[in-house]
Amino acid sequence: MTTITSLPPLRPSTTTLGGVTTALVTPFTADGALDEATFTRLVERQVAAGVSGISPVGTTGESPTLSSPERERLIELAVASASQLGVRPRPTVVAGTGTNDTRATVAATRRAAEPGADVALVVAPYYNRPNQAMLEAHYLAIAEDGRLPVVVYNVPSRTASNVSAETLLRLAGHERIIGVKEASGDLDQLCLILRDRPRGFAVLSGDDIWTLPLMALGAEGVVSVASNEVPEQMVELCHAALAGDWSAARAMHVRLLRLFRANFAGAPNPAPVKAALAAMGLAGDAVRQPLLPLDEALRPPLLDALREAGVNVRPLAAVEA
């Protein structure tokens, strides 16, 4: 475990974001410990698929049920695994460091900087229900003292607080607040952000299903759940959109639409995507309580969605065995 002493120099805020950043799952062993070997293989698979970034210990990574040492270890492994394949530039490591405690988030962000994370993904504080002035102060404190560029993560369905367009645009004026993962599902808010953001401030969809619509409006990419399963297809979708090949982008969006929906059907994320990875033979489906694995009765539609997306999966009986 790292400490917050002997910090590296402040990282510049010139990091660019775009394309596909994968919101990585956290695999567990049968006894509930981190499965480091599987995590490393999953990161290597993402790098080989050509994703632009990887994001450990976010929502999909089950950060609320990870201890601080576990989160730090996963960030360290993500940086090391993404670096060892020799791909240049290596994918940007966007480390989840957000909590509902500003001091704790600053400390977590500093610790993430030590092994070489490039950016901090900071979720809006949950449970406390801060108002807009409080949200602004929270993010400014992390930008000033956290030692990493910051991406705001706005997901009101999980936090019960929305970072408004007006608040976000003020935050975007800070040189080390470099983007937003927007999962509000509020098109009016998203349009205002895309219209009025300063140059260089990245807007990333926080929902796979919104990737194409938002990129058509000028967003740079997505922090994706589906790219755990289909990284090459998500890269193809985003590359087509960034190139203005809307016909190809639409075709891939339609091909993946059923999977986008299945990943959030029947249980909270990441239970469905872990069930999918188990069917693909890539990882186990264990989640930490209070989550439970996806019900068996809900797995056949998920497997059908994977097949429609072009994934070869084992028959359900083989998965259960």
Tell me the average pLDDT of the chain.
93
246-251 long-range contacts, Cβ below 8 Å, gap at least 24? 246/216, 249/212, 249/215, 250/212
pLDDT tens digits for 108-118?
999 999 999 99
Higher-confidence residue: 124 or 2? 124
Higher-confidence residue: 43 or 3? 43
203 pLDDT higher than 50 = yes
CA distance 302 to 260: 10
Global pTM reads: 0.93
Strand residue runs (E) in 13-64: 19-23, 53-55
Q: What percent of the chain has pLDDT over 70?
A: 93
pLDDT tens digits for 267-283?
999 999 999 999 999 99
309 pLDDT higher than 80 = yes
State the catalytic residues: 153, 181
Helix ranges, the chain (H): 36-49, 68-84, 102-113, 132-145, 156-159, 165-171, 187-196, 211-216, 231-242, 246-262, 271-279, 299-308, 316-320
Q: What percent of the chain has pLDDT over 90?
A: 90
234 pLDDT higher than 70 = yes
> In the Cβ-directed half-sphere of 312, how many Cα atoms lie within 13 Å?
0
What is the model's pLDDT at position 315?
A: 66
CA distance 62 to 73: 14
What is the model's pLDDT at position 15?
A: 62
233 pLDDT higher than 80 = yes
CATH architecture under which domain 19-249 falls: Alpha-Beta Barrel (3.20)
What is the model's pLDDT at position 291?
A: 97
9 pLDDT higher than 90 = no
> In the Cβ-directed half-sphere of 124, how many Cα atoms lie within 13 Å?
30
pLDDT tens digits for 156-201?
999 999 999 999 999 999 999 999 999 999 999 999 999 999 999 9
Domain ranges of the chain: 19-249
Residue with tokens 């049920």: 65
Binned at pLDDT 50, 70 and 90, residue 89 comes out as: confident
CA distance 134 to 295: 40
